[in-house]
């Protein structure tokens, strides 16, 4: 083949490669959109730079004789092979990123069609066959090469006519039932934190189920003026566990607006502030470790992953350091490296079933390495599950919390005292809008009855059955109100407290204003831990009362009409 013919073929291949590169960039862009709805002008705006890029690439390649005259006089098979591999790589990138966006959270619904999975394998086989078997002659048959490329591009672009489906790739790590339901023979401090559970919703739930709820909650004390000044889990949890007022002093919310819409402005310095909070003397996990407690944090929706690793380790100080390293390493390999690699190779070939094998392998490796069981559960498709209530009606709940709804008959017992936080997805996804409250009153409260009767109620019965109820502090609380509620309700979650060895005929109410940061020092004081700035939910000083009344007025009363 003469130099001019070789150069012509190289220019052709380079032009095709440039087209594929720009088309790949287009696929990555389209693959990360939620909708494929383009006007003609938008399509032209995309195609013009693509065409300019192709022309520019061909022009650059045409300058190769001037820059590499000696190279062009030699055999060009290696250069041709490199171009072919570049084409293969572009086709792979197109299929991979278009069907599975960069975020990796959702699969394109197109990838659920087995027919196109077979087509993808066919085009891969055809391209690789061309590269390996016909590499010396492929550039001499431009029509064959063009046919392969056109076929691959048709396959890649077909998903543009479909939409995203609900399939997800995120994994959830849940505790084993033994870990979640284990109790102490000595003393238990149990926080049941139900996401987005506001006091107003609790009242409406009680109004529809007095007979069922009264015996469940009769030993509790209710604090109807419980104030959470930062309706975000990642602000509420550190404040709850540390008892620090740092977020109270550093976060300035516009109480006239929905706090959810202000959260992005409040992330600056969050991690540094949180680390300082856990160094304070009111930090519950830190103080209880000194008293010989085992600390456990079970976040069933895995929102603990929003926090830094040091917070998770602080909350789970009962976990051995080497054990934690093994678990983290295995999680990274089995939940990130292997799935990402397999899905990037072929999103159609390696569907979500691959995670079942990876989870089994991880659990087996962890068991062999540490001698302990590890339970991993993948997030189910969709948000809601369904539970049949005692009255025969149905209530929806988050599948994250399914494990909490199924306490065993007998508990695993440990000799040391236990501090346990159980964080539930709860009513976070319930649409507690005024319209639903008015038009679907039964559905509006059935979710709450499901949680309190068959969720929390069954858990309390489990504690009684295993002799771990009387000797326990039990706090049922929300971290914040629902973001679809009026602003005032967002600041007023639920707080119920049962003290050890406290039995009464009915639930009582305490009208003191309580802040999220008041819980930690109050509890530590009740346990006999001396603090430099003590506080008590039951006996606050007059100065403390005035401060909290002012905050209640600002965050709750002034927002009642919004």
Among 168, 198, 221, the domain boundary falls at 168
Residue 328 covered by a domain: no
| Residue 100: band (very low, low, confident or very high) from pLDDT cuts 50, 70, 90 | very low
**How many other C-beta atoms can be found within 10 angstroms of the C-beta atom of residue 60?**
12
Range of the domain at 32: 3-168
Q: Half-sphere exposure (CA, 13 Å, Cβ side) for 174?
A: 20
CB 155 within 8 A of CB 116: yes
Query: Token pair for residue 374?
Result: 């590890």
Instruction: Looking at the structure, tell me whether residues 146 and 235 fall in a common domain.
Output: no
pLDDT score of 205 more than 80: yes
User: Residue 190: its pLDDT value, please?
Assistant: 96
Helix (H, G, I), strand (E, B) or coil at 267: coil
pLDDT score of 537 more than 90: yes
Task: Map tokens 């339901």 to a residue.
Answer: 181
Residue 21 covered by a domain: yes
pLDDT score of 161 more than 50: no
Instruction: Looking at the structure, tell me whether residues 226 and 152 fall in a common domain.
Output: no
CB 493 within 8 A of CB 478: yes
For residue 10, the surrounding DSSP H or E stretch is: helix 3-31
| Spatial separation of the C-alpha atoms in residues 61 and 10, rounded to whole Å | 8
Instruction: Looking at the structure, tell me whether residues 14 and 141 fall in a common domain.
Output: yes
Instruction: Looking at the structure, tell me whether residues 401 and 528 fall in a common domain.
Output: yes
What is the average pLDDT across 391-414?
A: 72
Query: What is the pTM assigned to this prediction?
Result: 0.62
Higher pLDDT, 490 or 115: 490
User: Residue 260: its pLDDT value, please?
Assistant: 54
User: Residue 543: its pLDDT value, please?
Assistant: 95
pLDDT in tens, 422-474: 888 877 766 555 555 555 556 667 777 778 888 899 999 999 999 999 999 99
Among 145, 168, 191, the domain boundary falls at 168
| HEC assignment per residue over 383-427 | CCEEEECCCCCEEEECHHHHHHHCCCCCCCEECCCEEEEEEECCC
* Ramachandran angles phi, psi of 556, nearest 5°: -115, -60
pLDDT score of 511 more than 90: yes
Residue 257 covered by a domain: no
What mean pLDDT is reported for the chain?
A: 68
What is the average pLDDT across 488-517?
A: 93
Cβ contacts of 136-143, under 8 Å, gap ≥ 24: 136/77, 138/80, 138/84, 139/9, 139/10, 139/13, 139/80, 140/1, 140/9, 142/9, 142/12
Higher pLDDT, 517 or 396: 517
Residue 359 covered by a domain: no
User: Residue 171: its pLDDT value, please?
Assistant: 38
Helix (H, G, I), strand (E, B) or coil at 95: helix
CB 189 within 8 A of CB 396: no
pLDDT score of 361 more than 70: no
**How many other C-beta atoms can be found within 10 angstroms of the C-beta atom of residue 74?**
10
Instruction: Looking at the structure, tell me whether residues 206 and 83 fall in a common domain.
Output: no
pLDDT score of 50 more than 50: yes
| Residue 315: band (very low, low, confident or very high) from pLDDT cuts 50, 70, 90 | very low
Instruction: Looking at the structure, tell me whether residues 229 and 120 fall in a common domain.
Output: no
User: Residue 149: its pLDDT value, please?
Assistant: 60
User: Residue 23: its pLDDT value, please?
Assistant: 57
Residue 179 covered by a domain: yes
Residue 12 covered by a domain: yes
Instruction: Looking at the structure, tell me whether residues 82 and 187 fall in a common domain.
Output: no
Q: Give the whole-number percent of the chain exceeding pLDDT 70.
A: 43
* Ramachandran angles phi, psi of 326, nearest 5°: -60, -45
User: Residue 77: its pLDDT value, please?
Assistant: 56
pLDDT in tens, 268-309: 566 667 767 877 899 898 888 888 888 877 777 755 444 433
DSSP 137: H
CA 247 to mean position of chain CA atoms: 23
Higher pLDDT, 84 or 218: 218
Residue 444 covered by a domain: yes
Q: Which residues contact 368 (CB under 8 A, 6 or more apart)?
A: none
Task: Map tokens 């012509």 to a residue.
Answer: 8
Q: Lowest-confidence range among 98-112, 123-137, 140-154?
A: 98-112
Calculate the dihedral angle through the C-alpha atoms of 453, 459, 464, 466, rounding to the nearest 10 degrees.
150
What is the average pLDDT across 344-353?
A: 51
Instruction: Looking at the structure, tell me whether residues 35 and 54 fall in a common domain.
Output: yes
pLDDT score of 221 more than 80: yes
| Spatial separation of the C-alpha atoms in residues 428 and 430, rounded to whole Å | 6
pLDDT score of 178 more than 80: no
pLDDT in tens, 318-345: 445 555 555 555 555 555 555 555 554 5
User: Residue 381: its pLDDT value, please?
Assistant: 33
Q: Lowest-confidence range among 231-240, 429-438, 511-520?
A: 429-438
Structural domain total, the chain = 2
Residue 356 covered by a domain: no
Instruction: Looking at the structure, tell me whether residues 73 and 189 fall in a common domain.
Output: no
Q: Which residues contact 469 (CB under 8 A, 6 or more apart)?
A: 460, 463
Higher pLDDT, 555 or 334: 555
Q: Half-sphere exposure (CA, 13 Å, Cβ side) for 527?
A: 25
Among 118, 146, 168, the domain boundary falls at 168
User: Residue 462: its pLDDT value, please?
Assistant: 95
User: Residue 476: its pLDDT value, please?
Assistant: 97
Higher pLDDT, 28 or 541: 541
pLDDT score of 316 more than 50: no
| Spatial separation of the C-alpha atoms in residues 416 and 336, rounded to whole Å | 36
Q: Which residues contact 118 (CB under 8 A, 6 or more apart)?
A: none
CB 556 within 8 A of CB 492: yes
**How many other C-beta atoms can be found within 10 angstroms of the C-beta atom of residue 356?**
11
Higher pLDDT, 237 or 80: 237
pLDDT score of 366 more than 90: no
What is the average pLDDT across 246-267?
A: 62
What is the average pLDDT across 230-239?
A: 81
Instruction: Looking at the structure, tell me whether residues 156 and 179 fall in a common domain.
Output: no
| Residue 252: band (very low, low, confident or very high) from pLDDT cuts 50, 70, 90 | low
| Residue 523: band (very low, low, confident or very high) from pLDDT cuts 50, 70, 90 | very high
| Residue 51: band (very low, low, confident or very high) from pLDDT cuts 50, 70, 90 | low
Measured CA to CA in angstroms, residue 458 lies from 176, 212, 217 at distances of 18, 12, 12
Q: What is the CATH number of the domain that holds 281?
A: 3.40.720.10
| Spatial separation of the C-alpha atoms in residues 446 and 440, rounded to whole Å | 10
Instruction: Looking at the structure, tell me whether residues 549 and 434 fall in a common domain.
Output: yes
Higher pLDDT, 155 or 163: 155
User: Residue 129: its pLDDT value, please?
Assistant: 65
Instruction: Looking at the structure, tell me whether residues 115 and 196 fall in a common domain.
Output: no
CB 521 within 8 A of CB 531: yes
User: Residue 166: its pLDDT value, please?
Assistant: 37
CA-based R_g, the chain, Å: 30
């Amino acid at each position: 083949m003469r130099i001019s013919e070789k150069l012509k073929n190289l220019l052709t291949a380079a032009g095709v490669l440039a087209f594929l590169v720009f088309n790949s960039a287009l696929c990555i862009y389209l693959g990360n959109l939620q909708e494929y709805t383009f006007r003609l002008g938008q399509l032209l705006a995309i195609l013009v730079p693509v065409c300019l890029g192709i022309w520019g690439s061909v022009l650059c390649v045409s300058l190769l004789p001037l820059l590499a005259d000696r190279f062009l006089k030699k055999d060009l098979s290696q250069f041709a092979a490199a171009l072919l591999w570049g084409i293969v790589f572009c086709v792979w990138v197109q299929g991979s990123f278009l069907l599975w966006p960069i975020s990796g959270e959702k699969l394109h619904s197109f990838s659920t069609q087995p027919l196109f999975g077979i087509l993808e394998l066919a085009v891969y086989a055809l391209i690789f066959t061309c590269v390996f078997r016909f590499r010396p002659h492929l550039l001499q048959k431009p029509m064959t090469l063009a046919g392969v490329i056109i076929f691959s591009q048709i396959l890649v672009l077909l998903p543009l006519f479909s939409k995203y489906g609900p399939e997800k790739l995120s994994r959830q790590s849940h505790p084993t039932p033994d870990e979640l339901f284990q109790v102490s023979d000595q003393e238990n401090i149990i926080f049941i934190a139900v996401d987005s559970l506001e006091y107003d919703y609790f009242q409406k739930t009680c109004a529809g189920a007095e007979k069922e709820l009264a015996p469940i909650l009769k030993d509790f004390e209710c604090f109807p003026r419980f104030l959470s000044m930062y309706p975000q889990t990642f602000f509420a949890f550190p404040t709850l566990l540390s008892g620090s007022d740092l977020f109270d002093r550093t976060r300035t919310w516009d109480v006239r607006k929905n706090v959810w819409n202000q959260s992005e402005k409040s992330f600056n310095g969050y991690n540094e502030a949180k680390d300082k909070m856990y160094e304070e003397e009111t930090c519950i996990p830190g103080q209880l470790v000194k008293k010989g407690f085992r600390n456990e944090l079970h976040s069933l929706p895995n929102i603990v992953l929003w926090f830094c690793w040091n917070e998770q380790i602080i909350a789970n100080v009962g976990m051995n350091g080497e054990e934690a390293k093994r678990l983290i390493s295995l999680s990274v390999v089995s939940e990130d490296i292997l799935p990402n690699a397999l899905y990037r190779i072929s999103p159609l070939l390696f569907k979500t079933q691959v995670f079942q094998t990876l989870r089994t392998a991880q659990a087996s490796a962890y068991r062999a390495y540490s001698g302990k069981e590890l339970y991993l559960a993948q997030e189910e498709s969709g948000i809601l599950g369904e539970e049949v209530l005692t009255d025969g009606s149905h209530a929806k709940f988050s599948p994250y919390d399914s494990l909490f709804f199924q306490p065993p008959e007998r508990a695993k017992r440990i000799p040391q005292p236990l501090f346990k936080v159980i964080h539930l997805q709860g009513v976070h996804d319930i649409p507690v809008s005024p319209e639903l409250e008015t038009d679907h009153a039964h559905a509006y409260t059935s979710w709450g009855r499901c949680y309190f009767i068959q969720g929390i109620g069954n858990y309390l019965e489990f504690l009684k059955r295993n002799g771990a109820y009387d000797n326990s502090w039990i706090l049922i609380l929300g971290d914040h109100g629902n973001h679809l509620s009026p602003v005032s309700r967002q600041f007023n979650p639920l707080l119920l407290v049962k003290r050890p060895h406290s039995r009464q005929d009915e639930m009582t109410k305490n009208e003191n204003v309580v802040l999220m940061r008041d819980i930690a020092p109050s509890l530590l004081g009740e346990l006999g831990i001396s603090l430099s700035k003590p506080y008590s939910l039951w006996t606050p000083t007059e100065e403390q009362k005035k401060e909290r009344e002012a905050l209640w007025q600002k965050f709750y009363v002034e927002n009642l009409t919004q």
